[in-house]
Amino acid sequence: MTVNKKGLRSITVDGVELRWRFRLSPCGVPDCPQDPSHVMIVGASRQGEVAICYVPRHSGPVTPGRVAVTARAEMADGWRPGEGTGDRHVMLREYTPKPEATDGHVQGEG
């Protein structure tokens, strides 16, 4: 599956270049049952299996740190960005910054 480049943001997680995009539910409700808000994460080539990460209502802002935590967990669970086909449906994970990261750089973010 090839993903349109428009609106994609870059992030590097554990040396793997990725692209991601947040999409608010078209019905304007973050937890819309017909089409919930989500983050799409794909390899830098914009091909292969796409991780579709649903964003639960009241789960806080979607940040690069949360995207990195989710991508790292999915890669550990067998997702290989740029390989395969189709969609991998998961929940967007929480991100807790480490106290030593005070320079503004989020670990796992590129």
At 108, is the pLDDT very low, low, confident or very high (cuts 50, 70, 90)?
A: low
Residue 41 lies in a domain: yes
What SS3 string covers the chain? CCCCCCCCEEEEECCEEEEEEEECCCCCCCCCCCCCCEEEEEECCCCCCEEEEECCCCCCCCCHHHHHHHHHHHHHCCCCCCCCCCEEEEECCCCCCCCCCCCCCCCCCC
This prediction's pTM: 0.74
Q: What is the mean pLDDT of residues 19-23?
A: 90
Residue 3 lies in a domain: no
Residue 51 lies in a domain: yes
Residue 1 lies in a domain: no
Number of domains into which the chain is organized: 1
Q: What is the mean pLDDT of residues 14-26?
A: 87
Residue 85 lies in a domain: yes
Residue 61 lies in a domain: yes
Residue 2 lies in a domain: no
Q: Express each pLDDT in 57-81 by its tens digit.
A: 777 888 999 999 999 999 999 999 9
Q: What pLDDT score does 109 carry?
A: 47
- Smallest Cα–Cα separation from 50: which of 4, 108, 99? 4
Mean pLDDT across the chain = 80
- For 39, the domain range is 9-91
Whether 93 has a pLDDT exceeding 50, the answer reads yes
